Structure 1
Amino acid sequence: MSFRERLRAASERSGSLLCVGLDPDPARLPTHLGPADDARTVLAFNRAIIESTTDLVCAYKPNLGFYLAYGPAGVEALIETRRLIPPEIPVILDAKVGDLGNTSVAYARAYFDAWNFDAVTVHPYMGEDSLEPFLSRSDRAVFVLVKTSNPGSGDLQDLPVTDEGTTEPLYLRVAERARRWQGRYGTCGLVVGATYPRQLAEVRERCPDLPILVPGVGAQGGDLTTTVQAGLDPAGGGLLINAARGVIYAGTGPDFAQAARRAAIELRDAINQARQS
């Protein structure tokens, strides 16, 4: 199965567009699990979150930086976290990678083969040849940064550029290129922040069939209903609404996993209500 087929199956099975971000912040890990600076604490935390939410999500998304901060033990915790996730649930490694030549080949081998992630986030700044080692993997997916959720995203992403006689913001030109890469490779997705619903609607119009990973709901201030209505594809899906802090840190005591489950149910149901409206 292709990534998109697996994602669709996971979404239909769970009735969900929720993607849970597995971002272990040492300052917020429950103290009863162990020392916050111990990667074994991270693994215990992730195991509990995964076990309490597997029936509620369409995907998981660990962010590489949180694991690298623990050094080699953190990388091992990331690899083991990947193994803990049931194989029918897609897992996106948020690495925001993009490099040249053999370096990209090495990254693709690491993330897809050695670590067995189903998809990876990439930045397109170096062009198609830097992404080809990822894009060419027919059983995986590549989520291209288009319009990110941070306040400074407009410094470059909103700049007007002229390409092929058309002048428009850079993020729309990136979306256009990703649409073409999808036609060539069939493995493209997009990343657009919930904090920019108008831009999300523009990107969806440009790329009606591509899956869009949407960070920024909740702690970053993105409005859920507006986001869902701006980003749904013609079939009423095509979104992965990512939530990390609002779910995994919903509780801090011994019942933190149950609190995460309650938060995930609430968010999944809110997303579905927005889909129906």
Structure 2
Amino acid sequence: MTTEELVEQIYKKRSFLCIGLDTDLEKIPPHLLSEPDPIFAFNKEIIDATHHLCVAYKPNTAFYEAYGLKGWESLERTINYLNEHHPEIFTIADAKRGDIGNTATRYAKAFFEALNFDSITVAPYMGRDSIEPFLAFKNKHTILLALTSNPGAFDFQTLKVDHKELYKQVLETSRTYKNSNNLMFVVGATKASFLKEIRNIVPDHFLLVPGVGAQGGKLDEVCGYGLNHQVGLLINSSRGILYASDGKDFAEKAAAEARLLQLAMALELKNRKLGS
């Protein structure tokens, strides 16, 4: 998917919501556990109930890999269902891969070709030759971890190297990589006040922003600092939508939570005259 196609969907749906499919067998409604594939059964109902309210889905691969081959099959069924029934939806493999050379290329092939995701999250610690193999794929996007929402982000990401915070070095250096126009960046919603400076470094790139809702991030703060001329934000919500109910009405309740976020996003776009 091209960036232009993603922006078109944002304006059409008046939404820049990404729903994280972090599906946990210990949290899904008990009546689904008798299904042949409970994870996919849950994901399908969530997708069917919310696809008109969001522009992206982000399965965190750990929630699938934890169940071995069966979990991987659930992930494959989920992405195949999305690509077949909702090809306009932007898909993110939240895999946080990071290795060099041929290994990086194999990771890219696994998610971009075998599973046909539109994008993948990647850790930047190993540098250029761990990122550029992902960037070589046409109309695929590499979402680089920049400033994350977890408390441990301050262990390294904000340390100063030559009088400049490390996350700023990551942003600036990655822009010099080949095909850097295919880059997006992860910036946690709990770090909203940092977004102004981040936008000075990467004014035109999309930012994937987790942490709104259960982790305490505020939508209006993120939008105030992070929106750009083509929106440029994907706001992720996982637990607040997925587990709004543990009953048979779970998909309906998930849609209601997604609707609240979509309406708030539509208002942000209206107030800033974006896509109007």
2:242 corresponds in structure 1 to 248
Inter-CA distance 39–198: structure 2 relative to 1 (3 Å threshold): farther
Match runs of 1:201-212 below 5 Å: 201-212=196-207
TM-superposition CA deviations, 1:85-119 (whole Å, max 9, x none): 11111100000111011111111111110011100
1:88 corresponds in structure 2 to 88
1:272 Cα deviation from its structure 2 partner: 2.7
Percent pairwise identity: 45
TM-superposition CA deviations, 1:167-187 (whole Å, max 9, x none): 210111111123333x74420
Letter of the 2:87 partner, please give it: P
1:3–1:187 Cα contact (<8 Å) kept: no
1:216 Cα deviation from its structure 2 partner: 0.5
Decide which of 180, 186, 191 is 2:186's aligned counterpart.
191
Is 1:146 matched with 2:149? Answer: no
Q: Moved runs in structure 1, 4+ residues, more than 6 A?
A: none
1:6–1:90 Cα contact (<8 Å) kept: no
1:273 Cα deviation from its structure 2 partner: 2.5
Letter of the 1:124 partner, please give it: P
Letter of the 2:241 partner, please give it: V
Is 1:22 matched with 2:16? Answer: no
Provide the secondary structure at the position in 1 that maps to 2:116: coil
1:3 Cα deviation from its structure 2 partner: 2.8
Counterpart-to-counterpart distance in 2, 1:75 and 1:212: 27
TM-superposition CA deviations, 1:4-34 (whole Å, max 9, x none): 1221122122111100000111221001112
Is 1:238 matched with 2:235? Answer: no
1:137 corresponds in structure 2 to 137
Provide the secondary structure at the position in 2 that maps to 1:186: helix
Decide which of 264, 267, 271 is 1:273's aligned counterpart.
267
Q: Which runs of 5 or more residues in structure 2 are unaligned?
A: none
Is 1:180 matched with 2:179? Answer: no
**Alignment TM-score, normalising by the size of structure 1:** 0.93
Inter-CA distance 39–191: structure 2 relative to 1 (3 Å threshold): farther
**Alignment TM-score, normalising by the size of structure 2:** 0.93
